[in-house]
Amino acid sequence: MIEPLPDQHAQKQSIIRALFIDTADDNYVLARFCFHANLDVDFFWLAVHCLEKYLKAALLCNDRSSRDYGHKIVDLYEDVVPLAPELLPETLTQPDEMELELWHDERTKDFIARLYSNGQAANRYQLFGYALRAEDLLKLDQIVFGVRRLCQPLEAHFLLVRRRGVPDESKRQRMNRDEGSWRLHAKLEEIMSRKHGETLQRALLDSNYPFAPKDWVSPPMTYRYSGRDSVLIRRLLDPLRSGPTNFAEVDKLWNWVKANIEIPRELRGAIQDELNSKTP
């Protein structure tokens, strides 16, 4: 059923676009740039950041609150799915252009949880380390494409107002068969049209199968794996695995870390438990 636009629709949309959609578009383009530039820490952080904003925008555009979530994209995604479950992929699919052996089948919600574990706010400092898979950018593209198009009033008329001779369809209904319905005429669409220069346009569209025009020519994509352990593991736990003789030095270093560096409670507890288990 077609629903009327909410009160102060235009004013609310201008706020949502400025605070959430346009800044998420910037984060998304920069995440893609970082992936291709091997800047993995920033890729994960920006990927989580852009999804957080798109998900909050989807809630706000559909008369829900975005408060009290923080950076928790797993919880956000769980609450956005009921808005239009038929428009969000349950499983992320391998593009035809990617070699079969490089792809890992993964449910969307599992990818979002893994993305969050690598790109959560505390991991900007690499407290946990990370593991990057070859297909992670292509999976991010798919979920951004699915979530971003929900950043509009889904139950409103697809033209926002009813018009004579035009099908009486909601935006949600129209999306099932209209390839252009994902366009929000926001920052991302400006970047696609090269309004902000060729560098950002290529960062957005190269090897971007959901968003790039069919005639877009991309250079060959380099697929790679990457990972890094936390420096806390390397400096505190690895020496103890060599034997108990290093315990005094490790304990002294751990006391300095606890006194001077902010560490999430769960990580602090896990390291302490590990150290306790190796106490001579």
The pLDDT tens digits for 1-38 are 687 888 888 899 999 999 999 999 999 999 999 999 99
Is residue 180 scored above 80 in pLDDT? no
In this prediction the pTM is: 0.91
E strand or H helix that includes residue 33: helix 22-36
Mean pLDDT across the chain: 91
Residue 280 has a pLDDT of: 64
Cβ atoms of 61 and 153 closer than 8 Å:
yes
Instruction: State how far Cα 159 lies from the chain centre.
Output: 29
Instruction: Take residue 169 and report the two structure tokens written for it.
Output: 């369809």
What is the rounded distance in angstroms from the CA atom of residue 105 to the CA atom of residue 94? 8
Cβ atoms of 58 and 83 closer than 8 Å:
yes
pLDDT digits (tens, 9 = 90+) for 105-157: 999 999 999 999 999 988 989 999 999 999 999 999 999 999 999 999 998 88
Q: What is the rounded radius of gyration, in angstroms, for the C-alpha atoms of the chain?
A: 22
Residue 243 has a pLDDT of: 73
